[in-house]
Amino acid sequence: VNAVLEKVKKIFQEEESIRQKREENENLRKAFSEPVLSEPTFPEGEIKAKPYRSLPEKPDNIADRPKLPANKLNNKIQVLHSVFDQSAEMN
């Protein structure tokens, strides 16, 4: 009877050690797959949302912006026309 009890006790010990190893392995696996943060990266209140800044409905004083002199404006238009003329010739 004592021998049987010893064998049963030994079996339970082996099962318990197997269970512990399995838990350790599971914890190790989790340790590599799930980062553990002891405290949040940003303490509470450190991150503040800034309001979205959109453009004003109408830009302030469009008339105040510098305008191109008439001859410069014509030069730009002339350049554009010449570029389009060249592309038409190529086709």
Tokens 């392995």 sit on residue: 25
Residue 75 has pLDDT above 90, yes or no: no
Cα 58 to the center of its chain, rounded Å: 34
The domains of the chain are located at 1-36
Mean pLDDT computed over 18-38 = 77
Report d(CA 17, CA 23) in Å as an integer: 10
Residue 79 has pLDDT above 70, yes or no: no
Model pLDDT for residues 44-74, shown as the tens digit of each residue: 666 666 666 665 566 555 555 666 555 555 5
Q: What is the pLDDT of residue 17?
A: 93
pTM for the model: 0.32
